[in-house]
Amino acid sequence: MANSKIVLGNGEVLMDLTADTVKEDKLLKGYTAHGADGEVMTGTCTFDADTQDANAADSEILSGKTAYVKGVKKTGAMKNNGAVAGKISTKAGKYTVPQGYHDGSGTVQIDSTEQAKIIAENIREGVTVLGVTGTMSGSEDVKSQSKEVTPSFEQQVVLPASGYTHLSQVTVAAISVSITDNSAGGKTVTIG
């Protein structure tokens, strides 16, 4: 189109393209429009978003990936940890998750050696630990002994004999006492 104005027979300008500033590199790729000269042009611009308000840092973009931030192409520096796995082996143990990307399939769990100890027989009856309710009565492997002790004027320590875990009963014999009338009109007390 040699003339970029469309003029009606009465001289009225119906459309004037001479002030248009669109160029091929500013028109999205694959779209067509008329330029200021009236000729049809096809866009070559591949931008599909305005990234002026983007604020991602290199460390927030996965390593090896690229993105545009404020019109500048950025290459990521965030470590790809994939499936991270951790173990906890003490009561106060914790696992520190490493900085970076995780693919969501990682796990953190109690170490299998410690899991094997969390069984009902090892937990006091009525107590629940990590979802396992205890059945231990406290009397398992208990071997009791009963003893008899003769009183004396010396301190005595009474303990279970070897092979026993505790004393179930200690019987202290009564001190022998006899009371008799004496010739002086009183009482004679004999202990032992």
Question: Cα–Cα distance between 47 and 29 in angstroms, integer?
Answer: 8
Mean of pLDDT over the chain: 89
Q: Residue 11 — very low, low, confident or very high, per pLDDT cuts 50/70/90?
A: confident
pLDDT for the residue numbered 36: 82
Q: Residue 7 — very low, low, confident or very high, per pLDDT cuts 50/70/90?
A: low
Residue 91 backbone dihedrals phi, psi, to 5 degrees: -55, -40
pLDDT > 90? residue 4: no
What's the rounded mean pLDDT across residues 114-127?
Answer: 94
Classify each residue of 138-172 as buried b or exposed e, where b means 16 or more C-beta atoms within 10 Å of its C-beta: eeeeeeeeeeeeeeeeeeeeeebeeeeeeeeeeee
Q: How far apart are the first and last CA of the chain?
A: 141
Q: Whole-model pTM?
A: 0.46
Q: Where are the domains of the chain?
A: 5-42, 85-133, 144-191
pLDDT digits (tens, 9 = 90+) for 162-180: 999 999 999 999 888 899 9
Q: Residue 8 — very low, low, confident or very high, per pLDDT cuts 50/70/90?
A: low
> Do strands 166-172 and 144-149 pair parallel, antiparallel, or not at all (unpaired)?
parallel
| 14 against 33, higher pLDDT | 33
pLDDT for the residue numbered 132: 96
pLDDT for the residue numbered 3: 58
pLDDT > 60? residue 2: no
pLDDT digits (tens, 9 = 90+) for 77-109: 999 999 999 999 999 999 999 999 999 999 999
pLDDT for the residue numbered 63: 94
Question: Cα–Cα distance between 75 and 59 in angstroms, integer?
Answer: 9
pLDDT digits (tens, 9 = 90+) for 31-73: 999 888 888 999 998 877 788 899 999 999 999 999 999 889 9
